[in-house]
Homo-oligomer: A and B are copies of this chain.
């Protein structure tokens, strides 16, 4: 098994060497490097005995037929596009591990098909819009999304055609098998939770809901030397008081996370009191009501700070997404399968979005996380531990054996 884990890691690194930008790992949707990556993945899939194809949104798909006709299908998926200057494992790990699972099954007869899907666009770097390929696979791709343009003004539809694909055929060729009965995404955690808990794996109970807001504090820009403290309307001092409360409230209301990541300060001169501050708020919680309460509290607090200071405040909700639960029974099955191994296993919510949350409303779906050493992702130093990959591979094979028992018993 350790040899298999080693091969998974080696193949992820082999894929990482295929890049649109020399010296780093940057593989954007439908790029030249993506074509090379397709060839490599298709080769591995063929070698594992999968029937391969590329669908018309650019997903690479490998199919292993059940022992009998009219069987239903288990989906194993993740993505093979990357952010700019990425690591080797965010996405590819789930695809490569799926191929290794099929290789490990060998000649074993199963009462269900397995389809491995390497989604083509999860990160959303090229067209500024994530999950395009899982949206396409679940019939949710809107015509307007085919009109999105990249930095060079090329539309999605034209990029597909340039790649040799037929956008008009997406609905037919990219759809998930209608008989899909279960779906699993294996992915690195991209956070420090498992490492802090000293656990190898976690099943994912759901993808946390998220609100994004924009807060504008409008004070009065004045001379930093000639304006006494008592006569100031300092927009940054107001924002700082609020940012401190954002952190305190989230820390006191775990597992809430709240982040002020982008702040514009105007005019932004050393000797001028800031007159205007525009700050982002990103706030996430597994419980949608807890998230909404947090938003309300932080809006109220900002208003109160602004009123006390004679500063004006505008807060705007820019996006909102409810928590997406993974399928309960399937997630329990995965948890039992994973807990059968030697490595410690937990359960957690994902703080980041994944294709699994796009697939979940259509097919019973679950996710398996592998520990991210140092919590690092979206960075060349992103890595995984061989023992965790080994544990993940065993967990998925046990999970498949459980599914086999269940389907056979029907």
Residues of A within 8 A of B (CB): 189-193, 196, 208, 210, 212, 222-231, 234, 236-237, 239-241, 243-244, 246-247, 250-251, 254-263, 265, 268-274, 280, 282, 284, 350-353, 375, 377-378
Contact = CB atoms under 8 A, between A and B. Distances in A.
Contacts of A236: 243, 260-261, 263
Given A193-B228, A230-B251, 13 more contacts: A226-B352, A227-B351, A227-B375, A228-B255, A229-B247, A229-B250, A229-B256, A237-B243, A237-B247, A259-B272, A260-B274, A262-B269, A263-B263
A231 B375 contact: yes
Contacts of A189: 226
Q: Which of A212, A236, A239, A282 has the most CB of B within 10 A?
A: A236
* A contacts with B: majority SS: mixed
Given A229-B247, A240-B243, A243-B236, A224 B261 contact: yes
Contact of A227 (B229, B241, B244, B257): B257
Contact of A244 (B191, B210, B231, B241): B241
Contacts of A375: 222, 226-227, 231
A259 B273 contact: yes
A242 B230 CA distance: 19
Given A240-B244, A262-B265, A225 B352 contact: yes
Count this chain's copies in the assembly.
2
A257 B230 CA distance: 10
A243 to B, nearest CB: 4
26 contacts: A191-B226, A191-B227, A192-B222, A192-B226, A196-B228, A212-B270, A223-B352, A223-B377, A224-B261, A224-B282, A225-B284, A225-B351, A227-B351, A229-B256, A229-B258, A230-B251, A230-B254, A234-B247, A237-B244, A240-B260, A259-B273, A261-B268, A261-B270, A261-B272, A261-B273, A263-B268
Nearest to A284: B225
A346 to B, nearest CB: 13
A239 B262 CA distance: 14
Contacts of A243: 236-237, 240
Nearest to A319: B270
A231 B260 CA distance: 16
Contacts of A192: 222, 226-228, 231
B259 A224 contact: yes
Q: Which of A226, A229, A350, A375 has the most CB of B within 10 A?
A: A226
A403 B255 CA distance: 75
A373 B292 CA distance: 45
